[in-house]
Amino acid sequence: MTIHVNLELTDHCNLKCKMCSQSMREFAHGEAMTFMDFSTWKQGIDGLHDIAQEVAISPHWLGEPTLHPEFDRFVSYAFEQNEQNRLFREFKLHTNAVIFPKSRSQLILEVAQNKTQAPNTFRFVHFSVDAFSPEVYQNVKGGNRREQVYDNIARFLQLRHNLNAEFPKVALGFVVQPENFHEARVFLEYWKYMIELYDNEVLLCSDWPHEEKDAIYFRPLNTKDQIKSNQLHRETVQKMGIPYTERSSNSF
């Protein structure tokens, strides 16, 4: 049994995605938004040693983790302390890729290749993208960051290829909704091409990725009319030839 631990670095976000509960609240947790102190992160990471089961950690919950001014320091500390996977077996990052400069990509790839840990310890970087055109990106994500995000992800793929690194795998997410469903196919084709450009196999999913492969995944919008949302999601993925599966909470 794996214990999943979310250590939220911040509940701030730099986007206002229509489908995200963080964007719908004045305060994400009912109080002013904050950043985690390094001492709290250190205590949380060190305390994983007392958990008997395998641990999977993610440095996020409602906020965008890369907004934390000490994000790189936090990630570096976690991997420095994890020799022989004594603290955690798996690390996953969920990000919108807005603040994802070359130096950050290099750091992530560096810690992922730490030879004292299992090769797949840094399992995935999940990029929440949800749009192809700048116009739809602005509408769905609430910010004019499309070009920046696309460039940042493309650079990460290239840097990973240059290092001949297998991990972290990349997962590109698209929440299907009335504002963006018409761009699902071009989104898939673009990112499938970009991943295969570096000779990597691509998993196409109608839910969270369930294998250790680079993935492009499409999920339904959570809404009051869930039946209608699920129907739009199902029709969208089936038109692209992606096998449709019922929603699941399990993922890599």
pLDDT digits (tens, 9 = 90+) for 98-122: 999 999 999 999 999 999 999 999 9
Domain 2-239 is found in CATH 1.10.8.590: no
| Residue 246 banded pLDDT, cuts 50, 70, 90 | confident
Write the pLDDT tens digit of every residue in 125-148.
999 999 999 999 999 999 999 999
| Cβ atoms of residues 156 and 191 within 8 Å | no
Q: CB–CB of 73/104 below 8 Å? A: no
CA distance 173 to 200: 17
Segment 186-214, tens digit of pLDDT: 999 999 999 999 988 999 999 999 899 99
213 contacts: CB under 8 Å, gap ≥ 6: 169, 200, 201, 202, 203
CB 118 within 8 A of CB 125: no
Q: Is the pLDDT of residue 32 over 90?
A: no
Query: Which DSSP helix (H) or strand (E) runs through 233?
Result: helix 226-239
Single out the residue of 48, 167, 171, 78 nearest to residue 118, CA to CA.
Answer: 167
Decide: pTM greater than 0.75: yes
Measured at the CA of 216, the angle between CA 11 and CA 193, to 5 degrees, comes to: 125
